[in-house]
Structure 1
Amino acid sequence: MYLGFDKIPYNWHEQIINLLSERIVIVDCEGIILYINEAYCEFLGTTVEKAIHRPVQDVIENTRMHIVSKTGQKEVATIHPINGSDMIANRYPLYENGELVGALGTVTFRSPEEWQMYKSKIQHLVEELKYYKTKVEKDLKSKYSFNDLIGDSATFLAVKKLAERISGSQSSVLLMGESGTGKEIFAHAIHNNSMRSSLPFVAINCSSIPEHLLESELFGYEDGAFTGAKKGGKKGQFEIANNGTLFLDEIGDMPLSMQSKLLRVLQEKEVQLVGGQKSIPVDVRIIAATHRDLEKMVEEGNFRQDLYYRLNVIKIEIPPLRKRKEDIPLISVRILKKLEKKFFRKGIELSFEVIEKLIQHSWPGNIRELENVLERSINVLDGQTIQMADLPLYLRDQMTKSNELTQPNTSNQIAESTPIPVQPLKETLALVEKQAIQNALNATKGDKLEAAKLLGIGKTSFYEKCKLYDIK
């Protein structure tokens, strides 16, 4: 049998109200206090007798009870400074027969000490939540811009210009290129230069996720969709990237069964969670990348033709490093600057023999291989200039084999080298310095500013030396 509030003994009411966490005050439509409980008075440093029948603003500092009792507009979970502390206040209008007659106010924390105790309990949770929120927001932002795409060769500049021009489009982009050519940096830069730049950028590597997990990773899943599913379900990458950009790296490695599901999402612009029934609309721009020959895969039946044409609206082919070797000195300088921060070093340079060797190498691993070579060299470097001896063994072996092939195999294999004429040290150093400047200009195709950077000297000093040695 249900017992209503009227069945509770009347003398219990005051005790019950005081035991509640809220401190309570009731005013009439003129803002005069009709009721205030003892706990609230204790907190305010007064008594019920002193507070009752007085204007509420005379008893409670910073109150708005008299305003709510006249406007009828409730105020929920507002900050209310009292006694030097910020309390949480709720204010509700009271009606009788549809007529505004007053207001009820509550304060959640009865003392600054209680507020501090509560705050200390949840503060670490708030800070942890803020940390992960910041981390997620940072992870969903593009990390690179077109300024991070280094090179001034004609082939590379044409590709970079095309990518900049189409970045403002909403069409899908297909990035083609060998591994290590910088496809992901292009994807970041395109998003960063688009109208979606302030919205999520989500990257997923289709080759690194097992086939049975790829669907739930892309589309998400409902609570209890499968054994081991996260309680409450999980958002997919499409839903996370909504209104932004989704970068599908290594799209050529996506299983055929997933290709058909991806095609449906791209056509219908909606996803259905694994184990779910309803569809969720999504607005996502797709940037896909692969090192595979998708046209050949289509012919062989390993890639869906309809998906290929859906992705291949704008195709950008990124040239390998061996086809833009004139960019190697500039790229090397940029990589060294990045590695200097990692190794807490400054002023690391490349010797001219090393620059020539880097230009001669075919770079099957492209920019990623170049970065690995330079990082390995810094690890074994004693001074400030990377020499041939600091390069990985396979590059030095290539140099030795190259010399063996170009030198005649005669019985007199030890050829006498032309000795450097004995002359004053100052003149010898000047000769070497002049040769170094000429090598730097050759490496940068005459760009004096970049040559000065390679040599690690200032622009003014470089121009003075060019004038001194009559170098045009």
Structure 2
Amino acid sequence: MINQRFPYAKEIIETVIENAYVWIVIVDADGNIIYMNDNYCRFCEVTKEEVIGKHVTEVIENTRMHIVVKNGEEEIADLQYIRGNYMIANRIPIIADGKVVGAFGTVMFRDTKEWSEMNSHVRHHLSSIQSFIEQQDDTGAKYTLNDIHSKSAIMAGLKEKVKSIAATDSSVLIRGESGTGKELFAHSIHLLSHRSDKPFVKVNCGAIPEHLLESELFGYEDGAFTGAKKGGKKGKFQQANGGTIFLDEIGDMSLQMQVKLLRVLQEKEVEPVGSTKTIPLDVRVITATNRPLEELMKANDFRSDLYYRISVIPLFIPSLRERKEDLEVLVRQFIKKVSIRTGKRISMIHEDVMDTFYHYHWQGNIRELENVIEAAIHLAKSDLITLDSIPDYIKQSTIYHSKSESALTLKEMLNDAEKEILLKMIQKYKGDKKGAAKALGISKSSMYEKIQKYGLE
């Protein structure tokens, strides 16, 4: 009846099965193979003619198909080691007239790496669902790739790289200028990983006083030092156990602390201050910095062995100046975000403002752009953001760059030249203003005065 209505049903079914993403094997009640699709045959380096009629144990390594036939119990998402790879297999008994007449087996993913990458891909799509986001409240991570707004090719490539590395447990070093969104990428990596339901712990190594950083990271025992909390305290590494720890501003860490951190990363265990016992750790480490670590290593201010330990997978986040095609997307997003927060409705931005934005250098990157949009929304007199609404230093910078040299006074030329020199030195030293000041032969206070003067904060 079916064949009369669908004369090519047999060919259709065979084509679908042969080209299915999964590998397929079917055995009879005795565990003998009655079907095996081409993909599975190629992997096992056999032909269909060779395997038909053979017992499944003679063809597939570590198979359990014959066991499923005997006990009639299905096995879902079971790990199976075949030809040097861990497969993820399903085995389902085939029942007819109340008895097991065979079994149907599939390999869903050809190895655990493939499964992990697919898992990250699925998590990326789930992350756009609010209910999924709400489940992350207790873990500490809240940003996903969906929160990184862009349309540039360079950012699209970076996001794809994040999806592929999230499935691993390798250490990641995120580089980029201040304000580029390094922390958002750290959150995203965690939420796309198999550790997403475990803690995500952030530590700003540059914000914690040196004498407190060790106890903050590694914890301490009761009575370890004067002022220690009764009963001791868990360190950030212990809090992150099973999950991810994000060490921001790693370039600001002292050499003494670098040695202690390196030991923890090498031994995968931590010894709290005042304790003689070590605690085993299972923590993925993500670090970030805007400092030139290579130059710091040359100056013996950063350990090369620690650098190679934390930079197994390097990520570089480009500055806003390198991807100005993202400006429009970011401006639109920030207007929406700030408008909701402030309750002030802004629906438009004048083209002159966008033109000014495209010509501005954005030393502070995305963080500076968001602050400018927030100020503009507060200063806007209608639902339109105009040039009158944006900070003067943005407009002045654009005016200086748009004037011809003949239209500038000597003072303006000197100011413009000084500003450009400051910008280049700050960029060269990756935002390290102290290092830039030293290279220019001026004091730190003079550097900050000039930064404030030219609006380079």
**TM-score after normalising by structure 1:** 0.56
Structure 2 alignment gaps of length 5 or more = 1-133, 409-457
Asked if 2 retains the 8 angstrom alpha-carbon contact of 1:248 and 1:287, the reply is yes
Mapped partners of 1:151, 1:384: distance in 2: 24
Q: Give the Å deviation of 1:403.
A: 4.5
Aligned residue in 2 for 1:10: none
Aligned residue in 1 for 2:322: 323
Aligned residue in 2 for 1:187: 186
Mapped partners of 1:226, 1:329: distance in 2: 53
Q: Secondary structure at the match of 2:201?
A: strand
Alpha-carbon displacement from aligned partner over 1:8-27 (angstroms, at most 9, x marks no partner) = xxxxxxxxxxxxxxxxxxxx
The 5 A counterparts of 1:92-131 are none
Aligned residue in 1 for 2:224: 225
Asked if 2 retains the 8 angstrom alpha-carbon contact of 1:220 and 1:236, the reply is yes
Aligned residue in 2 for 1:147: 146
Aligned residue in 1 for 2:206: 207
Q: Give the Å deviation of 1:209.
A: 0.1
Mapped partners of 1:324, 1:404: distance in 2: 24
Letter aligned with residue 288 of structure 2: A
Aligned residue in 2 for 1:302: 301
Q: Secondary structure at the match of 2:168?
A: coil
Mapped partners of 1:312, 1:399: distance in 2: 38
Alpha-carbon displacement from aligned partner over 1:328-367 (angstroms, at most 9, x marks no partner) = 0001111111111210123432111111111111101000
Q: Give the Å deviation of 1:407.
A: 7.9
Q: Give the Å deviation of 1:293.
A: 1.2
Q: Give the Å deviation of 1:263.
A: 0.5
Mapped partners of 1:370, 1:358: distance in 2: 9
Aligned residue in 1 for 2:370: 371
Q: Give the Å deviation of 1:395.
A: 1.1
Q: Give the Å deviation of 1:299.
A: 1.4
Aligned residue in 1 for 2:171: 172
Mapped partners of 1:164, 1:347: distance in 2: 34
Structure 1 residues 250 and 139: CA distance shift in structure 2, 3 A: farther
- The answer as to 2:245 corresponding to 1:281 is no
Mapped partners of 1:400, 1:211: distance in 2: 44
Mapped partners of 1:377, 1:279: distance in 2: 53
Mapped partners of 1:282, 1:146: distance in 2: 28
Deviating runs (4+, > 4 A) in structure 1? 406-409
Structure 1 residues 328 and 170: CA distance shift in structure 2, 3 A: same
Structure 1 residues 139 and 209: CA distance shift in structure 2, 3 A: farther
- Taking only aligned residues, the RMSD between alpha carbons, in angstroms, comes to 2.0
Q: Give the Å deviation of 1:307.
A: 0.4
**TM-score after normalising by structure 2:** 0.58
Letter aligned with residue 325 of structure 2: E
Mapped partners of 1:252, 1:196: distance in 2: 26
Asked if 2 retains the 8 angstrom alpha-carbon contact of 1:164 and 1:193, the reply is yes
Q: Secondary structure at the match of 1:221?
A: coil
Q: Secondary structure at the match of 2:288?
A: strand
Asked if 2 retains the 8 angstrom alpha-carbon contact of 1:340 and 1:348, the reply is no
Asked if 1 retains the 8 angstrom alpha-carbon contact of 2:221 and 2:232, the reply is yes
Alpha-carbon displacement from aligned partner over 1:84-142 (angstroms, at most 9, x marks no partner) = xxxxxxxxxxxxxxxxxxxxxxxxxxxxxxxxxxxxxxxxxxxxxxxxxxx9x836331
The 5 A counterparts of 1:61-460 are 138=137, 140-405=139-404
Asked which structure has the greater CA Rg, the reply is: 1
Percent pairwise identity:
50
Asked if 1 retains the 8 angstrom alpha-carbon contact of 2:360 and 2:398, the reply is no
Mapped partners of 1:213, 1:272: distance in 2: 15
The 5 A counterparts of 1:7-26 are none
Alpha-carbon displacement from aligned partner over 1:47-96 (angstroms, at most 9, x marks no partner) = xxxxxxxxxxxxxxxxxxxxxxxxxxxxxxxxxxxxxxxxxxxxxxxxxx
Aligned residue in 1 for 2:35: none
Q: Secondary structure at the match of 1:234?
A: coil
**Paired residues, number:** 276
Structure 1 alignment gaps of length 5 or more = 1-134, 410-472
Q: Give the Å deviation of 1:163.
A: 1.3
Letter aligned with residue 212 of structure 1: H
Mapped partners of 2:243, 2:263: distance in 1: 19
